[in-house]
Chains A and B, each alone.
Chain A
C-alpha cells in the first residue's frame, strides 16, 4: 500500500473500470445462476404455464401440487431419501477424507517405498475408467462382498464405494507437496515417529486443506447417484438425486415434480456451502499467512 504508485488513474477512469468489472461479473453470474432460478420458479408452475411462458420471472400463482406429488416417490417417503442423503454424505465424507488424507500423506512422505508407486498409479488409472459402464461389474463386486443381502450391507457398500473422491485426493497430494520438507526432516531428527509427525505437524498445517477437502467431498458425495442406484436393492437406501432420477420411468417425466425435487435436493447443499464457505475462506487466509 505504501509502495510508490507511478501513475495513478483518475477517479473517473477508476469508476469506469469498477462499473465494467461489476457489469461483467454480474452478467457472468447470471449465466451460471439463471438455470437454477428457472428450476425453482418452475417448480411452482404447472407444465402448461411453463411451456407457454418460459421466460416468466415469477410464478403466475404458486402451485404446490408438485411438492405434494413428491412427498412419496415409488412408495417411499421423501424424508427417507433426505435422511439417506444426510447420512451417506456425512459418513462417506468423514471416512473418505480421513482415508485420503492419510493415504496422500503416506504417498508424499515416502513415494519410493515398495508398492507405494503401484497404489498411486493404480488410483490414477482407476479414475480414468468411464465408470458409467461399470454397472454390472460393480454389482458383482458388491455381491461378492456380501453387501447385497441386507439394508445395512447396502449402506456399507454405498459409503465405501463413494468415499474416495478423486478430486479431493489429488488436492491432498498437491497440498502435501507444498509443505516445506525441512519441517518434517527436523522432526525426524528429533526422533518423532511418523504418527507424531502426522498428528502434530502435518495435520495442523493441513487444517485449511482438510476443511476444503470436506467441503468438496460433501458437495460431491451429496450429488452421487450412480453407485447408489447400482448397489441399492430397494428404494429404501436411495438418496435425493437417485430419487430424482427414478422419477423418469416408463410413464414419462413429471416435469414439475422433477423441478421440485431438484430444488429440494439443491437447497440443503446451498445452505451448507454458504455456511462453510466463510470458515474455509478464513482457514485459507490463516494458512496463507503462515505459508
Chain B
C-alpha cells in the first residue's frame, strides 16, 4: 500500500511538472470527426486571445468515453474538460462528484453572451441544484422524409400522425425509389434499448408531436402514460411494429447506428433528423434529398413541434491541472465566434445572432425559427433514478412488440400501474 502511495505521489509530481510547461487543454467527447474539427477551430480562435495555449480533443466511442471519464476523474488522469450531452455529464457527476460548479461562470458571462442561455438550458445543465456544465449546443430533433419519395407518391409532408401512417404505407408498398425492388420501409425507428425506443421514439411523438411536457412521469412522480396525448403516440409506435409492420423487422435490435445505415442506405421514408446529422446528409449519404419538419401530431388542429432533446455542454473537473484556463475556455464557448464554429461543424448552438447564410439547406429548418420548439423536461436532472424507470418501461414496451396484447388500452393501464410501483421502489 505504501509503495502504491509512493508511485501515486511520483505520478502526481510528474504530471504537475509536465503541466507547468505545456499549456494544453484536453477535452474528451464522443462526437467524432465533426467534434474534433469544431474544437480545432475553437482552439485556433482561443489561442489568438491566449498565446501559447492549445486545446485538443479526443473522441471515444460513447461507452468508452463514459467509462474512461469516470475512471480518469477518480484517478486525476482525466481531461481538463468533458464535452457531452447533459444527461451523460449528469451521470458522470453522480458517479464521481468531481465536476465543479460553473454557476459563477454562467453568471459572470458578458451580458451579450448570457442573454442567449435560456432557463431550459440551465435546467438541463443542472444536477441537484448545481450548474455542472456550460450549455452551448442545443440538440434539436425534427422529423424527416425523403423528398423524392414524397414526390414519387404525390404527397406533401404530413402534419398529422394519420397522414404520416398513410404516406408511410405508400412508401412501403409502392416503389418510391424506382429501383424495381420491394425493398423500402415506411419508418425508421430504434428499439434495441431504452434510450433508443423511448428517447428516440415514444418521447419524441409525445413531447414534440403532441406538445405535452412529460412522456412517462410528471414532476410529482405520477405516471402519465395513460394520458391520451401520451397514450396515442405510444400505442401508435408499438403498432408500427405489430399491426402496421411499417418498420424493418430488424428494428427490434437497432440502435442509432443501425438506423443510420437504413436511412443512409436509402431504404426508409420517414426518419429522425438531428441538427448534428444534417452536415453529413447534405454533403453525402442523402445528398440533401430530404425535408425536415416538426413531429406529426395526434391532436386535431394542433401542429407538432421540433424538440430540444438534450443540451450539450462542457464541464470542468475540479482537480484538473489547468482548472483556471479550462474555466476560461468554457466561458469562451458561448462567444459569438466560438458559437459560429459550433454551428458550422455540429449544427447546434445556443445563440441566434449567427451568420446562417453559410448553413446547408437541411440545417435551415433548425435555425430559421419557423417551427415551434418543445423542450424535454430533463427528468433525470430532478430524479437521478429516472434512467432506471425508463429501463423498466422499456421492458414493457419491447415485450409488447414481441407479444402484442389483445387490448392495448388494458395493457397500457397495467403497465402504468406497474411503473407506479417501480417509482415507489426507486424513491426509497
Contact = CB atoms under 8 A, between A and B. Distances in A.
Interface of A: 47-48, 50-52, 74-75, 135-136, 139-140, 143-146, 148-149, 229-230, 233-235, 245-246, 248-253, 255
B138 to A, nearest CB: 16
A43 B280 CA distance: 20
Interface in B250-279: 256-257, 260-261, 264-267, 276-277
B224 interface: no
Contacts of A143: 11, 71, 75, 77
A276 to B, nearest CB: 33
B265 A251 contact: no
B261 A140 contact: no
Contacts of B74: 140
B61 interface: yes
Interface in B92-128: none
Contacts, number: 96
Nearest to B14: A149
Which of B4, B15, B60, B183 is packed against the most chain A CB atoms within 10 Å? Answer: B60
Contact of A146 (B11, B31, B33, B60): B11
A135 B71 contact: yes
A148 B76 CA distance: 11
A250 B62 contact: yes
A239 to B, nearest CB: 15
Contacts of A245: 61
Interface in B29-71: 30-36, 58-62, 64, 67-68, 70-71
B11 A47 contact: no
B36 A248 contact: no
Contacts of A51: 183, 261, 265-267
B13 to A, nearest CB: 10
Contacts of A135: 67, 71
B181 interface: yes
Contacts of A251: 31-34, 260, 276-277, 280
Contacts of A50: 265
A144 B7 contact: yes
Given A47-B261, A135-B67, A250-B62, 15 more contacts: A48-B266, A74-B33, A135-B71, A136-B70, A139-B72, A140-B71, A140-B74, A143-B11, A146-B7, A148-B75, A245-B61, A246-B61, A249-B62, A250-B256, A250-B276
25 contacts: A48-B265, A51-B183, A51-B267, A52-B181, A74-B32, A135-B67, A139-B67, A139-B71, A139-B72, A143-B11, A144-B4, A144-B8, A148-B77, A149-B11, A149-B14, A149-B15, A229-B64, A245-B61, A246-B61, A249-B32, A249-B59, A250-B31, A251-B280, A252-B256, A252-B264
The size bracket of the interface on B is 35 or more
Give 3 nearest A-B pairs by CB, closest first: A252-B260, A249-B32, A51-B265
A136 B61 contact: no
A252 B266 CA distance: 15
Nearest to B262: A51
Interface of A is mostly: helix
Interface of B: 4, 7-8, 10-11, 14-15, 18, 30-36, 58-62, 64, 67-68, 70-72, 74-75, 77, 179, 181, 183, 256-257, 260-261, 264-267, 276-277, 280, 285
A149 B261 CA distance: 38
Contacts of B264: 47, 252
A229 B181 CA distance: 42
Contacts of A255: 261
Contact of A233 (B61, B77, B265): B77
Contacts of A52: 179, 181, 183
B27 to A, nearest CB: 12
A75 B36 contact: yes
A171 B48 CA distance: 60
B280 to A, nearest CB: 7
A7 B15 CA distance: 80
A249 B30 contact: yes
A229 B68 CA distance: 10
A249 B71 contact: no
Contacts of B179: 52
Contacts of B10: 146
A140 B31 contact: no
B60 A253 contact: no
B58 A252 contact: no
B392 to A, nearest CB: 23
A248 B8 CA distance: 34
Contacts of B59: 74, 246, 249
Contacts of A233: 77
Nearest to B267: A51
Contacts of A47: 261, 264-265, 285
A225 B24 CA distance: 28
B260 A253 contact: yes
Which of B71, B181, B183 is packed against the most chain A CB atoms within 10 Å? Answer: B71
Contacts of B183: 51-52
B11 A253 contact: no
B69 to A, nearest CB: 11
A288 to B, nearest CB: 46
Nearest to A145: B7
A74 B36 contact: yes
Contacts of B58: 74, 234-235
A144 B7 CA distance: 7
B34 A140 contact: no
Contacts of B277: 251
A144 B77 CA distance: 11
B181 to A, nearest CB: 7
Contacts of B32: 74, 249-251
B68 A139 contact: yes
Nearest to B84: A250
